[in-house]
Amino acid sequence: MSWDTALDILSEKLLECVDEYGSESIVYYQGFGVRTALRLINRRFFNLLGGVTTLRGTLCGGTGQAGQELDFGVRISHDPHDHLNSRCIFLWGRNPSVTDGNLWRIIRRAVRQGSTLVTVDPIRTLTAKRSDIHCQIRPGTDQYLALALSKIIIEEGLHDTEFIKRHVDNFEAYLELIEGFSLQRLSSITDVPESMMMELAGLCSDGPASMITGWGLQRYRDSHMALRFIDALAAVSGNIGIPGGGVSSGFDEYGAFDMGVTLEKETRKISMPLLGRELDTLESPPVRLVFITAGNPVTIGPNSMRTLEALRRVPFVVMVDHFLNDTSYASDLFLPATTFLEETDLAGSYGHSYVSPVNRAVKPLGNSRSEFWIFQKLSITMGIQEMNGSEKEWLELIASGLLDYYGIEIDELLRKPYRNPVPEVPFSNMEFPTPTGRFTLPEEITPEAPETSMRLLTVMPPEFIGSGEPKSMEGLLRIYMNPSTISEMGFEDGEVAVVESKTGTICAILKPCDDVRRDCAFTYRGGWLSKGNCINAVIEDMESYPGHGTPYNETAVGLRKIRGSGGSDHSAH
C-alpha cells in the first residue's frame, strides 16, 4: 500500500467519525515513548479537527507529581549537578545505575567527594549494592518511613524551627499525627530497624540532604502520600530551598516550549491506566476510532488482555510506530514511523532542564516517515488549514521563549543544548505557589495496607528501557524470589509455575534471588503478550488518585503448580 492510499483511507475514516458521531468519537492515545517538540503538532492537528477524546493520567510519575503540587504548589526539581552540594543523597525507589547513567555519574562524583549515599528499595538493586546504606523497606510503606525520620528529628529537637514558623502550614496537625505513632510501631510497619531509622534521621538533619525519588514510589494506590511525607521530611529537617537539599522527582519535558501551538480544547478525557475498560464503556459518543502514537498500551499498560480485546472491538484503529508489536496486532492500519536517528527535532527531558537538539543522522529507512510528515500530509488530504510550515519554522515557534531568553536563532539551538532557565535550587526565595504562599504539610496518613504473603514488583531490566524486542525477553517470564520463599511455598528453584490474579494468569520460571525480600518477588517489565511473557496480563487495571497514576504493585498474585506436576495451590491472595 502506498502512503497516498493509506492517508486517503485514514482521512475518510476520520471525516466519517466527525460527520456521523462528532470529533470526540475519536480517541488520540499519545504515549510517552517520544516526548519531543514537534509532537505538539500532533495535538494541534486533532484540535483543528474539532477536539477529540484524549488521555488523563500516566503510567509513570503522575501520582507523585500531584502529591508534590499539594505541598509545594508545583513540582520542580533541583538541577542534577546541585546534588554535588549534598552531604547525603537519598535514592528513594530509584535505580539510576541502571536507568539513568547521567544522574549516576553525578552521584558517583558526589560520593567520591564525601557524600553518603542511601538507597531505599525493597530490592537490593545494583544501585543499592553500590550505596553506603541500603534500607530494604517493606514495599508500599515509604510514607511511614519518612514519618519515622521526621518523628526522630522533631523529638530530638533537630528540626528547623525558623523555617517551620515562617514558611510551613499545618505543623500542629502534623505534630499530632507524629505523636500518634511510636517508633516501635513504625519500625514494625516498615520492617526497618529503629537503629537504622536513627542513623537515617541523623543524616537528614545534618544536611544538606537531597531526596531523589523514582518510579518505584509511583506504583501504589497511595503513592502521592509517599511523596508528601518525603517532602515533609525535607521541610522539617531544613532541606528546602538550600543547595544540596530538596526533593527531586522529575522535570517537565515540555516546560521550555510554547504549548499554545497545540490550540488545546476542553474535550472528553479517558483514563490511561483504565484504557480497556473505558474504551468498552464510553457512550455519547461511543468510540469509533483510536489513533495511537508513541505508545504500546497493550504491552505496557495494566490488564493487557482487556486492552487488546477492547481495541479489537473498536471499528478502526490506526497505529504509528517503528515496528510491529502487541498493539499493532489490534490495529487496522499501521503507519511506519522514523526513529530519532532519522529526524530533526528538539527534546526536553524528565531527568534535567536542558533542551537538546535532535539531529538527523541517517535518511528515513524504507517507507518510514516522521510523525510531523504524517500529520502534515494528512492535514493536506483532509483540507485542514494552519498546519503548514517546515520543521525548522515550527521549532522556532515552539522554542521561541528559550530563543528570546538567550538571544539566539534556531540554528544555534539545533547545534547544542541550552538550559531552560528554571531555578537550579528551587524555592531559595521561600516563595511557594500554594494558596497561602507557604509549604503545606500533610494532616493525615493513609491507613496501613493489609498484609499479603507476597507482593509482585515490576522493575526496569538492565538491558533496555521500554517495550522493545530484546533477546533477553525471549522464552518464559522469569519471577525472581527469595530462595526461602520458593521453598516455603512448595516449589523448586527453576520450576515453572502459574502466576495468577483475578485479572489473568501467566506461566513463569521461578528464579532464586537473594536480593529480594522474603515477602515479595519481582520481574522485569517489557515482555510481550504475543510472546507469552507480558506480566501486565495479570496486573489489575486500577487508577490512583490524585494524579491518575497506575498502581502496578497493588495487584495481589498467587502461585500454583502446573496441572499434573503434583502439589497443591499456594496463593498470595
Q: Please check whether residue 100 is in contact with residue 238, taking contact to mean a CB–CB distance below 8 angstroms.
A: no
* Residues 112 and 183 both lie in one domain: yes
Quick check: 389 pLDDT over 90? yes
Amino acid occupying residue 495? E
Q: Which domain holds residue 308?
A: 3-59+255-388
Query: Which of 52-56, 146-150, 371-375, 500-504 shows the lowest mean pLDDT across its residues?
Result: 500-504
* The total number of residues written for the chain in this structure: 573
Average pLDDT, integer, range 159-184: 97
Quick check: 21 pLDDT over 70? yes
pLDDT at residue 572, as a whole number: 38
Calculate what percentage of the chain has a pLDDT beyond 70. Answer: 96
Quick check: 494 pLDDT over 60? yes
Three-state DSSP state, 483: helix
406 within a domain of the structure (yes/no): no
Closest CA to 293 of 93, 110, 73, 36: 36
* Residues 68 and 176 both lie in one domain: yes
- Return the CATH number at 18: 3.40.50.740
Between the alpha carbon of residue 19 and those of residues 26, 348, 387, 431, 532, the distances in Å are 11, 37, 21, 50, 40
Query: Which of 54-63, 167-176, 269-278, 289-298 shows the lowest mean pLDDT across its residues?
Result: 54-63
Q: Please check whether residue 161 is in contact with residue 495, taking contact to mean a CB–CB distance below 8 angstroms.
A: no
Residues near 411 by beta carbon (within 8 Å), at least 6 away in sequence: none
Three-state DSSP state, 437: coil
* Residues 311 and 338 both lie in one domain: yes
pLDDT at residue 534, as a whole number: 94
pLDDT at residue 466, as a whole number: 63
Number of domains in the chain: 3
Average pLDDT, integer, range 309-335: 97
Give yes or no for a cis peptide into 96 (omega within 30° of 0).
no
pLDDT digits (tens, 9 = 90+) for 231-254: 999 999 999 999 999 999 999 999
pLDDT tier at 60, thresholds 50, 70, 90: confident
pLDDT at residue 362, as a whole number: 96
Calculate what percentage of the chain has a pLDDT beyond 90. Answer: 88
401 within a domain of the structure (yes/no): no
22 within a domain of the structure (yes/no): yes
pLDDT tier at 570, thresholds 50, 70, 90: very low
pTM equals 0.94
Q: What are phi and psi of 413, to 5 degrees?
A: -70, -25
User: Rounded CA gap, 67 and 72, in Å?
Assistant: 9
**Mean pLDDT of all residues belonging to the chain:** 94
pLDDT digits (tens, 9 = 90+) for 99-157: 999 999 999 999 999 999 999 999 999 999 999 999 999 999 999 999 999 999 999 99
How many C-beta atoms lie closer than 10 Å to residue 217's C-beta? 26
Paired residues of 440 in beta bridges: 169
Three-state DSSP state, 27: strand
* Residues 173 and 239 both lie in one domain: yes
Q: What are phi and psi of 412, to 5 degrees?
A: -70, -40
393 within a domain of the structure (yes/no): no
User: Rounded CA gap, 149 and 170, in Å?
Assistant: 18
How many C-beta atoms lie closer than 10 Å to residue 396's C-beta? 17
Single residue among 415, 440, 465 that ends a domain in this structure: 440
* Residues 76 and 218 both lie in one domain: yes
Q: How many CA atoms lie within 13 Å of 497's alpha carbon, on the beta-carbon side? A: 26
pLDDT at residue 33, as a whole number: 87
Burial class (CB in 10 A: 0-12, 13-18, 19+), 265: middle
Closest CA to 65 of 426, 546, 444, 441: 546
Query: Which of 155-164, 402-411, 522-531 shows the lowest mean pLDDT across its residues?
Result: 522-531
* Residues 232 and 95 both lie in one domain: yes
* Residues 134 and 23 both lie in one domain: no
Which has the higher per-residue pLDDT, 207 or 157? 157
* Residues 119 and 232 both lie in one domain: yes
DSSP secondary structure of 44-68: HHHHHTT--BEEES-SSSHHHHHHH
